[in-house]
A and B are shown apart, each in its own frame.
Chain A
Amino acid sequence: MFIHYFKYCFITFLRKKDILFWTLLFPIALSSFMYAAFGNITETTELAKPIPVVVIHHHNDPIFDQVLDVMSDGDNAILKLKDMNEKKALQALDDEKIVGIFYVDDKISLSVKGNNLKESVLSTFLDEYLQKRETMNFTNVYACRDKLKTHGTQDNLVSSFYAVLAMSSLFAVFSGIDQIYCFQGNLSSLGARRSIAPTPRSIIILAEFLAGLFFQFLVSSLAFFYMKYILRINFGDRILEIFPVLLLGNACGLSLGILIGSLSFPKTLGGKLGLATSFSMILSVADDLCAPSVRIMIEHNYPILNRLNPATVMSDALYSLNVYDSLNRYYTNLFYLGAIAFILCLVSYFFIRRNRYANI
């Protein structure tokens, strides 16, 4: 019977024009528009080229200085250290002559202006250093340059396409709402009719969740293939690793939809869809879909929000695939996505487990 429910749920999704529009056509249209609008901006970052930085010392940190020397030395140098005072450094940062300023106080901090690849490299470098210094293990810090992929170039525009893919996955929220609306006896006649059937609700909801996930995964993959092979966006050479991100991202979107759908407020389908649209757009905006630097601003002020935003986590997972040789960050992000989806499902369960209602 599991296959029976799976099959019909999948067929239903395939025929739902509104869901196909939001999850497939809209991301394709948006990515095409972005490509047409910004595709000619070929600001590329050659990672082999050292990143100009200034170090402002308020305290001495010989270990950090030593690490900086290593990172700025030789043919494969990642950093290019410039010597200037704080005032000039700030002006240079503003004029984009340098990419970042390291402040060596009690604690080492980094000041950057944008949130492109170079800034991320500096941020990652500092994170690695601070983390390893606590354990006095500098091997990895010295090897930091090896962690950065040295092959190919990274087009900054790609980040925007990561955000579109993340948004496309989040739009699985609509499928989730649709599923739960047709499942709950107190929300729709269809739900009532299914509630009185001699089939355990857990079997139906599981079959339909998997059908929805499979459908959304296919749709997101289609959007991805469109960007990669039609728009020829450079997603790097780790293609297979992208699909787990899409799968778990869609699981988050679908689970979020199930949660919104199972809430007693708003009661109407329109209200629930409105809430889902607003919520997914807020998450996408926080993932830099509409304006740059939102994500980095959140990272500086409320970093936990970035860990909880599935769109940001997805983008970061895709980004890390293309930037770092190490897959640690990628796996961490996969874990976050899985945890978010699991928690959303768990909370939803408490709302949908009842099979009798006080009101219909």
Chain B
Amino acid sequence: MSNVIEINNLVKRYKELVALDHFNLTVDEGEILGLLGPNGSGKTTTINCILALLTYDKGSIKVFGKEMKATSYDIKKDIGVVMQDVAVFDDLTVYENVDYFCGLYIKDKKIRKQYVEEALNFVELTDFYKFKPKKLSGGLLRRLNIACGIAHKPKLIFFDEPTVAVDPQSRNKILDGIKELNRKGATIIYTSHYMEEIEQLCSRIVIMDKGKSIAMGTKDELKAMIHKTEKITIEVADLASDFSSEFAKLPNFSSYSYNDNVLNLTFKGGRNNLAHVMNILSKHPGNLGRISSETPTLNDVFLEITGTELRDNV
């Protein structure tokens, strides 16, 4: 699998503020990479540097194996961007907007028409062809923003916080759409404040803070990096006391309590703890009630590495 993006030792300063501090990143072809971090961590600056919109002080950026410059039109033609702010013309209709932006990439009128229709179909805006952006709801507007960014069928797509201020239904449609684009072969870079989205969507995650990459890996790899306890709670009536010794033998076991027909078990990391517990409880004759397992979140990962809450910073 080849690298779509290679960033080495990137340094970007805004006067005294170091926005990117010797930042390194590689993005593999076909993956969905999530950039997660609080405001000001350098996510959007990273994207703008990759896109050659921003100058930088040091380092190198390669896209599709070539150095990225403002005039690298051969690279740019394969890149799509969905901006954090909706970037469409208020005075053009939905169709005209997508046609205009697609026209920046696709010269053939016939092919462009086909692409525009496919893009509008993809974001389910076919009933709104003649609407002006002002007439669209927030969710529909975000979908139009996406259509404008992906209509030319790019191989590499940046989504910079595409679901900000979007209702849950539209958010799910957007996330499903991004997965679909990835299935069709596009490499995706996704930035978001929402950890749940990143967890749900991304095959690999880079956690950023103060312009640095502080952790990188799959969500499971990231969670395995910390020593957070997994807490399992099960409603079960009349549990015999000899079960406690069996639980104590489980790997990573930490503590046990049983009060008011509620069993509480904690584990120090590890995998498949709930499955092990359920295996033991299968010998218990009574019925089981509610079962829950609280695993570490990406916020816990961020907290353990930086000492501050990711959510607090957002």
Contact = CB atoms under 8 A, between A and B. Distances in A.
Contact of B101 (A185, A189, A193): A193
A360 B54 contact: yes
A360 B48 contact: yes
A8 B104 contact: no
Contact of B86 (A189, A194, A195): A189
A356 B92 contact: no
A355 interface: yes
Contacts, number: 84
A11 B92 CA distance: 8
Give me the 10 closest cross-chain CB pairs, A-B, nearest first: A189-B87, A197-B104, A198-B73, A198-B76, A15-B91, A189-B85, A198-B77, A355-B70, A193-B87, A4-B103
A356 B56 CA distance: 10
A170 to B, nearest CB: 23
B83 A192 contact: yes
A359 to B, nearest CB: 6
A196 interface: yes
Interface of B: 14, 48, 51-55, 70-71, 73-77, 79, 81, 83-89, 91-92, 96, 99-101, 103-105, 107, 148-149
Contacts of A198: 73-77, 104-105
Interface string A1-17: 10011001001100110
Contacts of B51: 196
A8 B83 contact: no
A190 interface: yes
B96 A8 contact: yes
A199 interface: yes
Contact of A357 (B55, B83, B89): B55
A8 B54 contact: no
A189 B160 CA distance: 12
Contacts of B52: 196, 355-356
A189 B53 CA distance: 11
Contact of B105 (A182, A197, A359): A197
Contacts of A355: 52, 70-71
Contact of B53 (A5, A11, A195): A195
Contact of B79 (A12, A189, A196, A358): A196
A356 B87 contact: no
B92 A194 contact: no
B100 A196 contact: no
